[in-house]
């Protein structure tokens, strides 16, 4: 079965960077697009960006274009999301997701467990 | 960007009652509208895709309808496990966007 297992919680200071990983299993990693979605405390869901796990091609939400980088390592079926220049507004749970179909905008059928990133001085 | 507005923000109902949730898009998204359920401390779960198709394993009491700009998620008879927050999402255009959510709470 499809599993997405994310790295553990992080505490960072303002101005620092964080890199979250998402280990995929149970399917052909390069056959699907992967996305990152975040959720600030007691807030809604916010789409951050996506990557073609085969080619590495990326698309980002404009809000994150300058500070977020999504990458993958196909040899270990792992997705990464790095955020630089963190502020307190980046405190959130970050989710990796896999699409249901093979299109880049296909719905998010599989989700990681979430990684809490706390930004605090 | 396409803005999705969900209403009401909170729906207070009793088990066994019918729940009707609304999602309105700022421009047409055709049928590219999805619904997710999220319980506290959990990741969202896909319920409905393409406005009206139930995802794998989703009970028949969940149904979706609509096209263009107005969409509805209906839960025909609320079970105790259905009390949660529900989000709509459009996949018509970049950036992908979510509605603000509707919380279905026990009355």
- Tell me the C-alpha distance between B54 and A29, whole Å: 25
- Which residues lie closer than 8 Å to B87 by C-beta, 6 or more apart? A44, A45, B6, B35, B36, B38, B44, B98, B99, B101
- Tell me the C-alpha distance between B93 and B35, whole Å: 16
Residue corresponding to tokens 């496990």: B81
Selected residue of A4, A44, A46, A50 to mutate for chain B interface (largest B Cβ count, 10 A): A44
Cβ–Cβ contacts within 10 Å for residue B5, how many? Answer: 13
Q: pLDDT grade, residue A102 (50/70/90)?
A: confident
Q: What is the pLDDT of residue B18?
A: 98
Q: What is the pLDDT of residue A96?
A: 98
Is the pLDDT at A101 greater than 90? The verdict is no
Q: Give the pLDDT confidence of B48-91 residue by residue, as tens digits.
A: 999 999 999 999 999 999 999 999 999 999 999 999 999 999 99
- Cβ pairs bridging A and B (under 8 Å): 54
Q: Give the pLDDT confidence of A34-54 residue by residue, as tens digits.
A: 999 999 999 999 999 999 999
Question: In this complex, is the C-beta atom of A91 within 8 Å of any C-beta atom belonging to chain B?
Answer: no
* Interval B29-46 mean pLDDT: 97
Q: What is the pLDDT of residue B65?
A: 98
Q: pLDDT grade, residue A56 (50/70/90)?
A: very high
* B43 contacts on A by Cβ (under 8 Å): 95, 111-114
């Amino acid at each position: 079965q499809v599993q997405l297992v994310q790295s553990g919680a992080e505490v960072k200071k303002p101005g620092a960077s964080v890199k979250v990983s998402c280990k995929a299993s149970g399917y052909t990693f390069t056959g699907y697009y992967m996305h990152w979605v975040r959720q600030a405390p007691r807030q809604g869901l916010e789409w951050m960006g996506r990557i073609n796990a085969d080619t590495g091609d990326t698309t980002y939400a404009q809000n994150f274009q300058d500070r977020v980088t999504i990458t993958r390592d196909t040899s270990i079926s792992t997705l990464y999301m790095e955020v630089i220049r963190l502020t307190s507004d980046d405190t959130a749970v970050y989710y990796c997701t896999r699409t249901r179909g093979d299109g880049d905008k296909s719905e998010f059928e599989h989700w990681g467990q979430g990684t809490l990133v706390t930004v605090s001085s | 960007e396409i803005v999705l507005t969900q209403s009401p923000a909170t729906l207070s109902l009793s088990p066994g009652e019918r729940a009707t949730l609304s999602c309105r898009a700022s421009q047409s998204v055709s049928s590219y509208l999805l619904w997710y359920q999220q319980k506290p401390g959990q990741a969202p779960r896909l319920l409905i895709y393409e406005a009206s198709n139930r995802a794998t394993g989703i009970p028949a009491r969940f149904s979706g309808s609509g096209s263009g700009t107005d969409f509805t998620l209906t839960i025909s008879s609320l079970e105790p496990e259905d009390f949660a927050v529900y989000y709509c999402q459009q996949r018509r255009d970049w950036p992908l966007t979510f509605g603000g959510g509707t919380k279905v709470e026990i009355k």
